[in-house]
């Protein structure tokens, strides 16, 4: 790999105002005592990996947790440290939550180089928000988005969750309309997965979540309604207006390289996949290379194909065959043909792409097609 080829940079910020009932990410409530030392450690890591790999970054993503909880000053300090490694037009995204983010001066973040925001709305229905353990209201979400827009942000994403307690097609449609009315450019619409050990998995609320069939109906309904409003589906769970796709997240599905900084953050560089422990103590105290945990080698043909099939554009089997001569593109095309007539996928020349119905069965379909 040419060392001048841009990679991506992900920074995990594991702090939240409150842990949501469904959340299985590495995060914990508050943690103000760590904010400053954590910021300084992240800056050290940016310098360490910047020198180690000598690669520019054309995307930077602050994920979490609630990265905006760090506040403008700390985020600006991190941006200052990252700037020497960022390309001129790098996409820089910061995640936040309504109710926390509305207290920020978004113009400061914009001036620091952050040019994309992603807010965890999940729903505009108060009953659904309460069931999820969210601490914001729909009105606070609207005010947060408007404040960001006033500061000049024109690339804003909102998260919507499907299959949550009390949700119906009617309430989901109201949430979609709510997002659309705010003029945002991107929506990530995920199906709720009840992770073992989370408060939701131990609560009676889990019985109010949609079953597999109902979740599938809600997903197809969301895909259809979002498309009606100009949101083009470009990945299983992601929809964009005006071509405002998440450049950083797309790099994962294109099997591009990236560095992840922070506890639980994953990296893929020079064919190697590794990650940090889910421990803020280890991240703060152990030398970076000693804290790296090997995941697996990356970049094989199966990984390439599976990731491409997550995208609406799908997989070009002849491109796959060119990169990996041991693979038969013609054989994969033959394997895919039986699934075209039921409307699970489309075949256009050498390209295979899943339909929304196919995305619902993507794991099983991918296995059938590739093997």
Q: pLDDT, tens digit, for every residue of 242-298?
A: 999 999 999 999 999 999 999 999 999 998 999 999 999 999 999 999 999 998 766
| Least confidently predicted of 8-22, 52-66, 132-146, 311-325 | 8-22
- Residue 344 tokens, joined: 């699970």
Against a cut of 0.95, is the pTM above it?
A: no
Pick from 94, 56, 90, 58: nearest CA to 74:
94
- Mean residue pLDDT of the chain comes to 91
Q: Which domains does the chain have, with CATH numbers?
A: 7-252 (3.20.20.70), 301-370 (1.10.10.920)
228-259 b/e with 16+ CB inside 10 Å = b?
Answer: eeebebbbbbbbbbeebbbbbbbbbbebbbbb
Residue 32's pLDDT is: 87
Q: What is the mean pLDDT of residues 151-165?
A: 95
pLDDT at 135: 83
Report the C-alpha gap between 179 and 121 in whole angstroms. Answer: 9
Helices (H) and strands (E) in the chain, counts: 15, 17
> 194 or 60, which is more confident?
60
- The stretch 56-64 carries a mean pLDDT of 96
pLDDT at 1: 40
pLDDT of residue 4: 80
Kindly state the percentage of the chain with pLDDT values over 90. 79
CA dist., res. 251 & res. 47, Å (int): 22
């Amino acid at each position: 790999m040419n060392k001048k080829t841009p990679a991506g940079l992900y920074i995990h910020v594991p702090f939240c105002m409150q842990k949501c009932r469904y959340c299985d990410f590495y995060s914990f409530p508050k943690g103000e005592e760590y904010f400053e030392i954590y910021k300084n450690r992240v800056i050290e890591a940016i310098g360490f990996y910047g020198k180690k790999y000598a690669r520019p970054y054309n995307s930077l993503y602050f994920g979490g947790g609630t990265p905006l909880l760090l506040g403008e000053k700390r985020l600006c300090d991190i941006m200052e440290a990252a700037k020497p490694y960022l390309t001129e037009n790098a996409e820089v995204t910061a995640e936040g939550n309504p109710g926390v983010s509305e207290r920020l001066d978004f113009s400061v973040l914009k001036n620091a180089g952050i040019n994309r925001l992603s807010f965890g709305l999940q729903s505009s229905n108060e009953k659904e928000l309460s069931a999820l353990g969210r601490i914001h209201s729909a009105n606070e979400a609207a005010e947060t988005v408007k404040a960001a827009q006033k500061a000049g942000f024109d690339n804003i994403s909102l998260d919507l969750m499907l299959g949550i307690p009390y949700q119906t097609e009617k309430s989901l449609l109201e949430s979609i309309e709510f997002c659309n009315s705010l003029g945002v450019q991107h929506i990530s619409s995920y199906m709720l997965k009840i992770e073992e050990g989370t408060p939701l998995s131990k609560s009676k609320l889990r019985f109010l979540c949609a079953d597999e069939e109902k979740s599938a109906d809600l997903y197809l309904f969301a895909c259809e309604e979002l498309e009606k409003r100009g949101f083009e589906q470009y990945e299983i769970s992601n929809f964009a207006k005006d071509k405002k796709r998440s450049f950083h997240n797309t790099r994962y599905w294109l099997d591009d390289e990236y560095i992840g900084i922070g506890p639980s953050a994953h990296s893929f560089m020079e064919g190697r996949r590794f990650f940090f422990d889910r421990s803020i103590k280890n991240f703060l105290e152990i030398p970076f290379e000693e804290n790296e945990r090997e995941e697996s080698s990356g970049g094989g043909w199966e990984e390439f194909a599976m990731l491409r099939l997550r995208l609406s554009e799908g997989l070009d089997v002849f491109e796959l065959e060119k990169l990996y001569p041991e693979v038969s593109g013609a054989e994969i095309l033959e394997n895919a043909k039986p699934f075209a007539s039921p409307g699970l996928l489309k075949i256009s020349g050498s390209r295979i792409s899943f339909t929304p119905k196919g995305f619902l069965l993507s794991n099983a379909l991918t296995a059938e097609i590739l093997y």
